[in-house]
């Protein structure tokens, strides 16, 4: 096709011979976080027609056009295709043999093995509930090591990070990132973001936060903003400690 229009809540403008993505009018529904991977070539043929409206306005337009059922449909959050956001049940349904293959990995805490778990795919960074282990004090998932099926536990303070590396990054606003670039960096969709100083380091980005962040999860997206503009993003690599 020559062009594509999507329902993402985001906006586009032309600036310095580049297509720049910026936040939509409805900040509560902003979806720029998931768009960092789009190339300039793709953006030349892309439209975001909903970006200039708020969600209630879109629903009213749908009703006025006769799409009553669609307008009254309940909204989806998080992973839109997973019922009740229960990704564990989704994995078990789609991969019925998975649990048997990964069950029985080790919990690690303070350098020691302290128990067994159900398999690394069923845990997330920062998780506290559902660990089925008692160590006296509250513990959280600090790190997931797929290669050894190990879940590393830690205290709440252990979840704090000041630095991370970003791989496979893509820049939207700039052709190359200025040295010591300061931008707001989000490490999850609903994250308010934290200021960070960012530099290119080989084929990765070195992100140093100005305040501690919690729940840094390798494999998730780190997305950089300058005001309302999407600068770019990439995947969080193995965490880098100062």
DSSP-based three-state secondary structure for 200? strand
> Is 242 among the domain residues?
no
Quickly count: other Cβ atoms within 10 Å of residue 212's Cβ: 11
Query: Domain total for the chain?
Result: 3
Question: Which residues form the domain of 195?
Answer: 160-236
CATH number of residue 190's parent domain: 2.40.30.10
The dihedrals phi and psi of 27, each to the nearest 5 degrees, come to -65, -25
Question: What are the structure tokens assigned to 92, written together?
Answer: 């078990």
Q: Quote the distance between the C-alpha of residue 151 and its chain's center.
A: 20
Same domain, yes or no: 96 and 164: no
Question: pTM of the prediction?
Answer: 0.88
Query: How many CB atoms neighbour CB 2 within 10 A?
Result: 4
- Residue after which a domain boundary falls, among 118, 134, 154: 154
Question: In which element (H, E) is residue 167 found?
Answer: strand 160-171
pLDDT in tens, the chain (242 residues): 899 999 999 999 999 999 999 999 998 899 999 999 999 999 999 999 999 999 999 999 999 999 998 888 877 666 666 777 788 888 998 999 999 999 999 999 999 999 999 999 999 999 999 999 999 899 999 999 999 999 999 999 999 999 999 999 999 999 999 999 999 999 999 899 999 999 999 999 999 999 999 999 999 999 999 999 999 999 999 655 43
Domain presence at residue 76? no
């Amino acid at each position: 096709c020559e062009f594509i229009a999507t329902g993402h809540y985001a906006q586009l403008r032309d600036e310095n011979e580049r297509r720049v993505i910026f936040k939509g009018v409805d900040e509560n529904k902003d979806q720029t976080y998931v768009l960092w991977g789009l190339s300039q070539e793709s953006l030349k043929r892309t439209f975001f027609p909903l970006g200039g409206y708020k969600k209630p306005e879109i629903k009213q337009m749908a009703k006025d056009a006769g799409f009553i059922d669609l307008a009254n449909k309940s909204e989806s959050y998080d992973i839109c295709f997973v019922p009740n956001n229960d990704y564990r049940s989704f994995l078990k349904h789609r991969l019925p043999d998975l649990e048997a293959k990964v069950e029985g990995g080790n919990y690690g805490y303070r350098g020691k093995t302290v128990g067994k778990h159900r398999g690394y795919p069923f845990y997330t960074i920062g998780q506290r509930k559902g660990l089925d282990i008692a160590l006296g004090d509250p513990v959280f998932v600090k790190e997931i090591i797929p290669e050894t099926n190990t879940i590393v536990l830690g205290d709440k303070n252990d979840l704090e990070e000041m630095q991370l590396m970003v791989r496979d990054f893509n820049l939207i606003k700039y052709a190359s990132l200025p040295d010591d670039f300061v931008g707001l960096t989000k490490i999850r969709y609903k994250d308010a973001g934290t200021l960070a100083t960012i530099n290119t380091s080989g084929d990765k980005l070195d992100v140093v936060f100005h305040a501690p962040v919690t729940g840094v999860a390798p494999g998730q997206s780190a997305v950089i903003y300058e005001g309302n503009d999407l600068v770019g993003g990439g995947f969080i690599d193995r965490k880098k400690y100062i």
